[in-house]
């Protein structure tokens, strides 16, 4: 049943122009561990509308540490996908999601209601969370915001996703005439879309569900904020076209028919704290086309296609893609790539993807049977695209099911391309680590001498604890890539592997 809409919202749903005001950057920044000011403990939980499906695998309680009152969290049901590599058919799994906001410290208790717990893992592994386990119940403490996955007995589908976010520092008044406010409950619009004018912000309060694609088209200084959910949207979660200075906050996109967020010919976009889950085909997370000055920060993406995809021309979008930053995020690709760059472009008027930065990212999974679509990080220019000036730093890759750690290929994929990519130039990869046994050989493939890969440097590449460097001890006839079973062809030039000390010495000389 739909919750009654406010008069202003009802007018919008009927197609009238709705004014809603710009509240950008509403998500709070986590208090750093080195702050000396005393923080008052606070815990904010949110309801799940009864009309929204739940999952019954877990019970989750949380309290302010060390002895606050326990509060039981409502469980949401994201759906996840898996491809059968033999038939190409897909299978959908129900999973679990809970979320809350806090400041100070909280204790989290998770009970596996299925029983039979023999193994527990809280991911990302880099957080080092080792819970206390008491039968089917586990407990751990958080003193800063985290997006987590709790796995029981290595079950990667029937698991718990837990978003423990910072308390919002600013919240709009419900009757603010400059805000399109959606409170707890399920909301719809007449045509399944919500057009947002310039200077306006949609606020989805915690526990609110909006079944509509939020559209920013030819507008500026607008956004989405709050802790609510975009669910089951027909055209994806949010669409930003020919717009500037757009902010998308810590809402969650559940099970869309399309991308969680699509940017086309946009500039000055910030996506901070977004969560996304998908199970259907082409269920990408965030796709960027022909856009500039985009910051994607603190997101959690679990998708049935690419989590982050960065392209130039496709459909009616034209122009270069420049100055894109993805940082402080967690990516899980049940199909395709966690990060994919360069497939789509403009053969008739070639474009460039440049100044791309990926920093402080945990990649939890990657499963892709097709070798041409593998790579936790894939730089694959086609359609006469040129990829240049890429910085990849502090990337932690956990063992994944199927694919490659990193894949660079100047491609001519006739399914999607009308010409070969122009090349890949000036890529610096620092502090990338992989721990596991499932990775296939990473490939570096220039197309020919005119469509090559040039000037790629790895600094402190660590594969299963081994620091990979050209200076490492190995037979004199080995390539450095032979030591980790990677491969580069003759159209890759100036590929270097350095230790941190060697890189620092080179920079100082």
The reported pLDDT for the residue numbered 234 is: 85
pLDDT of residue 37: 59
pLDDT-derived band at 49, boundaries 50, 70, 90: very high
Percentage of the chain modeled with pLDDT above 90: 89
Q: What is the Cα–Cα distance from 435 to 77, expressed in whole angstroms?
A: 30
Tell me the pLDDT tens digit for each residue of 236-270. Answer: 999 999 999 999 999 999 999 999 999 999 999 99
Average pLDDT over residues 264-279: 98
339-398: pLDDT as tens digits: 999 999 999 999 999 999 999 999 999 999 999 999 999 999 999 999 999 999 999 999
pLDDT, one tens digit per residue, over 80-110 is: 999 999 999 999 999 999 999 999 999 999 9
pLDDT, residue 18, reads: 34
Mean pLDDT score, 2-24: 36
Q: Are 436 and 400 in contact (CB under 8 A)?
A: yes
Q: Rg of the Cα trace of the chain? A: 23
Residue 178 has a pLDDT of: 85
| Predicted local confidence at residue 174, as pLDDT | 86
450/173: higher pLDDT: 450
- Looking at residue 28, its pLDDT comes to 38
Please, what's the b/e burial string for 221-248 (b: 16 or more CB within 10 A of its CB; e: otherwise)?
bbbbbbbbbbbbbebbbbbbbbbbbbbb
- The answer on pLDDT for 7 being more than 70 is no
pLDDT at position 170, please?
Answer: 87
**Cα→Cα distances 6→10, 187, 189, 193, Å:** 6, 10, 12, 17
Asked whether residue 10 carries a pLDDT value surpassing 90, the answer given is no
Contact 478, 469 (CB under 8 A): no
Give the mean pLDDT of 307-319. 98
Q: What is the pTM of this model?
A: 0.92
- The token pair that represents 140 in the structure block: 């751990």
Distance of CA 456 to the CA centre of its chain: 25
Q: Is the pLDDT of residue 22 over 70?
A: no
239/229 Cα distance (integer angstroms): 15
- What pLDDT is stored for residue 177 in this prediction? 84
Q: How confident is the model at residue 2 (pLDDT cuts 50, 70, 90)?
A: very low
pLDDT for 410 beyond 80 = yes
Asked if pLDDT for residue 186 goes beyond 90, the answer is: yes
Band (pLDDT 50/70/90 cuts) for residue 36 is very low
Q: Measured between alpha carbons, how far is 327 from 23 in angstroms, rounded to an integer?
A: 22
| Amino acid 15: pLDDT | 35
pLDDT score of 232: 80
Using an 8 Å Cβ cutoff, are 131 and 122 in contact? yes
Residue 380: name the closest of 417, 406, 408 by CA. 408
| Exposure b/e, 144-172, CB count within 10 A at least 16 = b | ebbbbbbbbeeebbbbbbbbbbbbbeebb
More confident residue, 385 or 173: 385
């Amino acid at each position: 049943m739909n919750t009654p809409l406010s008069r202003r919202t009802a007018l919008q749903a009927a197609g009238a122009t709705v004014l809603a005001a710009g509240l950008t950057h509403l998500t709070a920044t986590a208090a750093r561990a080195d702050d000396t000011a005393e923080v008052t403990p606070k815990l904010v939980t949110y309801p799940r509308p009864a009309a929204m499906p739940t999952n019954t695998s877990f019970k989750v309680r949380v309290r302010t540490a060390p002895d606050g009152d326990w509060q039981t969290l409502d469980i949401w049901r994201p759906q996840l996908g898996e491809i059968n590599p033999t038939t190409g058919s897909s299978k959908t799994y129900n999973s679990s999601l809970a979320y809350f906001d806090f400041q100070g410290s909280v204790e989290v208790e998770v009970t596996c209601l299925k029983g039979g717990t023999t193994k527990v893992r809280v991911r990302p592994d880099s957080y080092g969370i080792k819970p206390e386990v008491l039968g089917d119940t586990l407990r751990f403490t958080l003193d800063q915001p985290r997006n987590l996955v709790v796995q029981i007995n290595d079950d990667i589908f029937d698991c718990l996703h837990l978003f423990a976010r910072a308390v919002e520092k600013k919240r709009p008044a419900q009757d603010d005439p400059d805000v399109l406010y959606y409170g707890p409950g399920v909301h719809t619009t007449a045509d399944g879309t919500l057009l947002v004018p310039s200077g306006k912000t949609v606020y989805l309060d915690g526990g609110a569900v909006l079944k509509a694609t939020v559209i920013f088209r030819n507008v500026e200084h607008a956004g989405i904020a709050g802790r609510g959910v975009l669910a089951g949207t027909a055209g994806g979660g949010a669409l930003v076209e020919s717009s500037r200075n757009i902010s998308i906050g810590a809402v969650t996109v559940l099970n869309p028919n399309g991308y969680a967020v699509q940017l086309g010919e946009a500039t000055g976009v910030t996506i901070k704290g977004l969560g996304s889950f998908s199970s259907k085909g082409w269920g990408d997370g965030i796709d960027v086309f022909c856009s500039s000055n985009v910051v994607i920060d603190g997101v959690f993406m679990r998708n049935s296609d690419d989590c982050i995809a960065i392209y130039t021309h496709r459909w009616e979008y034209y122009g270069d893609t420049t100055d894109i930053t993805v940082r402080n995020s967690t990516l899980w690709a049940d199909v395709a790539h966690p990060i994919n760059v360069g497939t789509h472009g403009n053969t008739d008027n070639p474009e460039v993807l440049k100044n791309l930065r990926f920093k402080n990212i945990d990649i939890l999974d990657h499963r892709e049977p097709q070798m041409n679509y593998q790579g936790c990080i894939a730089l694959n220019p086609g359609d006469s695209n040129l990829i240049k000036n890429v910085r990849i730093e502090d990337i932690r890759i956990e063992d994944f099911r199927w694919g490659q750690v990193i894949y660079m290929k100047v491609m001519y994929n006739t399914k999607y391309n009308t010409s070969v990519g122009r090349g890949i130039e000036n890529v610096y990869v620092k502090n990338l680590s992989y721990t596991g046994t499932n990775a296939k050989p990473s490939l570096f493939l220039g197309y020919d001498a005119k469509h090559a890969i040039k000037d790629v440097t790895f600094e402190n590449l660590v594969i299963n604890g081994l620091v990979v460097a050209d200076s490492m001890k190995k037979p004199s006839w080995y390539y450095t890539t032979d030591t980790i079973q990677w491969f580069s062809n003759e159209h890759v030039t100036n590929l270097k592997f350095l230790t941190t000390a060697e890189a620092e010495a080179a920079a100082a000389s």
